[in-house]
Chains A and B, each alone.
Chain A
Amino acid sequence: MRRLLRKSQIPNPKSQIQTPGFGTWVLGFGIFCLALPLCLLAQEGRGGRGNNPLGAVGALGGGGRRAPDRSKEPTPRLADGTISLNGLWVGGGPVEDIAAGLPKGEKLPLLPAAVKLMEYRAQHESDDPHLWCMPMGVPRSTPYPFKFVQDMTGSTASSHLYILHEGNIHSFRQIFMDGRKHPAELDPTWFGHSIGRWENKDTLVIDTVGFNDKFWFDRNGTPHSEQLHIVERWTRPNMGTLVNAVTIEDPMYYSKAFTVTFTARLQGPNDEILENICQENNQYGPAGGHQNPFFGK
C-alpha cells in the first residue's frame, strides 16, 4: 500500500484522489518540502528554524502517520544469529544539524577553517548540493526512508550489502563485505568506498574513505574534506529501532575524531520505498530561479 499520507503537508485531503499528474505533484511537493527547514518528518517535535510558511510540522492537520511502536519486540536474527537489518527505516542520521547527535554538553571540534566555511554556507543556503538533487553522502539522512539489502542466509555468505535510499537521491550505497581493503588510489565519490564486517553478529561496522568534499553533513553546512574517514556502527537493539553510531575523522576541519549517534524507527509492515526522482521538476533548481552552484565548475 502506498504511503501517500507520509507527505505531511498535504493541505486538502481530497487532493489525494488520483488525478493525472498526482504522483508528480506529491513528489514535487516533497521536493518543495526539502527546501524548507521545517520539513523534518524524521525529527517530529524537534522543531526547525521556525520560519516555515506552512507553519510547524503537522499544523495543517495532515501529520506524518507515525509508525507503530515495535521497540518492545526482540531483535530479529538470521539463522546464524546475525541481526537482521530488514525493514523500512526512517532516521538514522543528521538532517538539520549533525551536532544533535553528540553526547549532551559536547560540541563539534571544529577547526577555524570549518567555522569560516560554515559561516559562508549559512549565507549561501542554496549552495547545498542536496537541494540540487545531488547525493547526500554519509551519514546525512532525509525524511525519506531507507532499507538495507542484506544477504539473509547469513553474515559470511554474501560479499556485498546495499543501502537503498528513497531520497535524496533515489539511489544506493554499495558496501563490500568480502574482507577487501580500500584501494590504494581512490576516486573521490559522493558515497565513498565502503567496506563492512560484522562484529559479534550484533554490530555492522562500515568503514568508508574516498569521499569527495561536495556534500554537506547537514542543512547547516557542517563541512568535510576528501580526507574524511567515517566508521559507522549499526545495531538493532530491538525490532523497531536501529542505532547508528558514527565516528568522524577529518583532520582538515576537526581537531579530533568525534562520534555522533542517531536512531532510526521501523516503518509499518506494508510500507514500501516510493519512487522519488528529485531531478524531475525540482523547483529549487533553475525552475525556481536559483543559481546552480555547480555551473561552470
Chain B
Amino acid sequence: MPEGRAGGGARQGGEGRGRETGPPRPTPRSSSGHVLLGSTPEEKGVWLPRGVAPNPLGLKDTPFQPWAKAVFADREKNELEPHTRCKPSGVLRQFLTPYGVEIVELPELQQIYVFDIGGPHTYKTVYMDGRSHPESLVPTYYGHSIGWWEGDTLVIDTVGFNDKFWFDRKGTPHSEKLHTIERWTRTNMGTLVNTVTIEDPTYYSKPFTVTFNARLQAPGDELMEYICQENNQYGTAGGHENPFGK
C-alpha cells in the first residue's frame, strides 16, 4: 500500500516518537576516530526525516530553465507520480518517506548501503573504494554512487540516473544528465544533515543546493517490511491508469 498523505503506516514521520530528548549526545566515532553514520555498538542507525517528503524541494527560487516550468506545471495537473506507483525515487526521496532509512557501513569492503522501507523497499549502494563512475551507464532510479570522506563529512557523487522519478511530490523535474553531490554530516548522535547540490543543465540554469535533516530513531526501532506493490490502492486497484503501462 502507498504511504498515506500524512505519513500512514506503523511509523509516523515527523515529530514525536523516537526523538532525542535532553542535550544532544556527541557524534559517535569508531575506535579509529572515524565518524559512524549508521549503527553504533549501542544503537542502530534508523533515520527518519524531519517532516514528511518535501513538497516541493523547499526552495524559494528554483533556477528553472524556461521549459522546466512547463514540465512542472504539467505534473501538478496530471499527478502521474511514479512514487505512488511503487517506483523507486532517487536522491532525496529515498530518505524522505515517513518510514526512514537505515545506513549500513562496511568499511572492510569499502561499501555503504542505504536501506529504505517505504516506496520500493530496496537499497542503494555507495562505492567507497575510489572507483570512478563507469563511462557507459545504464540509467537507473538510484544512479551510480561513489563516496569518500572529507574530514567528518561523507561526500557522495552520483550520476547515471534515469529521468523516471520525481524529486518530490510536486514533480520537480530532472533529466538523465542529473549529477548530485551529497554531503552528509552527523552533527551529533541524533542528527544527520544532508546537503545536496543538484546539477542538471537540461532543466536548471545553474546548480543549486537543498538541505534536509534526519533524526535518529529510538533504540529498538527496526526497519519493517513494506511491499508497496501489494494491494497498492493508488494503482490499478484504485482505477488509476498506469503511466508505464504502454
Contacts and interface: CB of A to CB of B under 8 A. Distances in A.
Interface of A: 1-2, 18, 22-23, 26, 86, 132-135, 149, 151-153, 158-160, 162, 164, 169-172, 174, 176, 189-191, 214, 272-275, 277-281, 285-287, 292, 294-297
B-side interface mostly: loop
Contacts of A273: 125
A162 B104 contact: yes
A281 B229 CA distance: 13
A285 B235 CA distance: 12
B123 A86 contact: no
30 contacts: A2-B136, A22-B138, A23-B139, A23-B162, A26-B138, A86-B109, A133-B86, A134-B227, A149-B104, A152-B108, A169-B122, A170-B122, A170-B123, A172-B123, A190-B225, A190-B227, A214-B230, A273-B125, A275-B88, A277-B120, A277-B141, A280-B164, A280-B244, A281-B245, A285-B245, A286-B236, A292-B237, A294-B237, A295-B237, A297-B231
Given A170-B122, A190-B225, A273-B125, 13 more contacts: A18-B138, A133-B229, A134-B229, A149-B106, A158-B39, A159-B44, A162-B123, A170-B123, A171-B121, A277-B87, A279-B229, A280-B244, A281-B245
A294 B230 contact: yes
A279 B231 contact: no
A281 B162 contact: no
Sort A-B residue pairs by CB-CB distance and give the 10 closest, nearest first: A152-B108, A23-B138, A275-B140, A189-B225, A287-B245, A279-B86, A279-B229, A133-B229, A170-B122, A171-B121
A160 B136 CA distance: 35
Task: Using C-beta atoms within 8 Å of the partner chain, give the interface range for chain B.
Answer: 35 or more
B134 A171 contact: no
Nearest to B162: A23
Given A190-B225, A280-B87, A286 B122 contact: no
